[in-house]
Amino acid sequence: GAGVSQSPRYKVAKRGQDVALRCDPISGHVSLFWYQQALGQGPEFLTYFQNEAQLDKSGLPSDRFFAERPEGSVSTLKIQRTQQEDSAVYLCASSPGTSRETQYFGPGTRLLVL
């Protein structure tokens, strides 16, 4: 079946612009995670959704970052007033339930802020 998809795959933004990154999880997956991967580093946790509820947003680096999953399926990560340090790959992952541990990752969105 279809895996996790993300769009756009690449995004170039001027500093100060707002961006929206989309994640389509595997159909029926309850859990959805966002991670940020800087160049040459491992992914770092940003936020977690269980269905439409955002249960953990402890990894969001500032109040410029906002995520939502209003209908419990597609999720959007929004970054306001982008800064150069926001340049990274943003990965989305989903898993079937709340206790099933395997996370399936999307291909990521590579964001470059100039």
Partner 1 sequence: GENVEQHPSTLSVQEGDSAVIKCTYSDSASNYFPWYKQELGKRPQLIIDIRSNVGEKKDQRIAVTLNKTAKHFSLHITETQPEDSAVYFCAASILTGGGNKLTFGTGTQLKVEL
Q: Which residues bind partner 1 (CB under 8 A)?
A: 4, 31, 33, 35, 40-45, 48, 50, 55-56, 59, 91, 95, 98-99, 101-108
Please report, for residues 58, 76, 96, the alpha-carbon distance to residue 7 in angstroms, rounded to integers and kept in the order given. Answer: 24, 10, 21
Peptide bond into 8 cis (omega under 30): yes
Least distance in angstroms from the C-beta of 42 to partner 1: 3
Is 67 within 8 Å of 77 (Cβ atoms)?
A: yes
Nearer to partner 1, 17 or 103 (CB): 103
| Beta carbon of residue 47, minimum distance to partner 1 (angstroms, whole number) | 9
> Which residue number, 14 or 101, has a Cβ lying nearer to partner 1?
101
Round to whole Å and give the CA distance between 34 and 43: 9
Measured from the CB atom, the residue of 18 and 52 that comes closer to partner 1 is: 52
What's the min distance (Å) between Cβ of 82 and partner 1?
A: 22
What secondary structure letter does DSSP report for 85?
Answer: G
